[in-house]
Amino acid sequence: MWWYWLLYILIGALAGWIGGMIVKGSGSGFWINLLLGVVGAMLGGWLLRLVGLGGGTLLWQLLAAVVGAVILLLIWGAIARSKNS
């Protein structure tokens, strides 16, 4: 069962990287991508279930993680811009 954890880490890192590519055109390094992907997976999974969407496949988990990572990056960017104003 150790490979489940490895799979989740890889999905988190990939989702964070994809989210970074979508929002800002580049990744943020392995550890930040991993953090964005894991937290994004929780956020994205929760939001998608909230609106009645859900699935258990690996692709669905990646999609939920990417959605959450993009949302987190957009929120982070808005906060950073408001501090600079």
Residue 45 lies in a domain: yes
pLDDT at position 35: 86
> What is the number of domains present in the chain?
1
Residue 71 lies in a domain: yes
Convert the pLDDT of each residue in 36-72 to its tens digit. 888 888 888 888 888 888 777 888 888 988 999 899 9
pLDDT at position 13: 87
pLDDT beyond 80 at 85 = no
Residue 6 lies in a domain: no
Give me the amino acid identity at 45.
Answer: G
Helix then strand then coil, % of the chain, to nearest 5: 85, 0, 15
Could you tell me if 46 and 63 are in contact, meaning their C-beta atoms sit under 8 angstroms apart? no
pTM of the entire structure?
Answer: 0.83
* DSSP calls for 33-61: HHHHHHHHHHHHHHHHHHTT----SHHHH
Closest by Cα among 60, 59, 61, 73 to 26:
73
Residue 44 lies in a domain: yes
Convert the pLDDT of each residue in 13-40 to its tens digit. 898 899 889 988 877 778 888 888 888 8
Residue 40 lies in a domain: yes
Residue 66 lies in a domain: yes
pLDDT at position 22: 92
Residue 21 lies in a domain: no
State in Å, rounded, how far the first CA of the chain is from the last one.
48
Residue 69 lies in a domain: yes
Domain that holds residue 72: 35-49+57-76
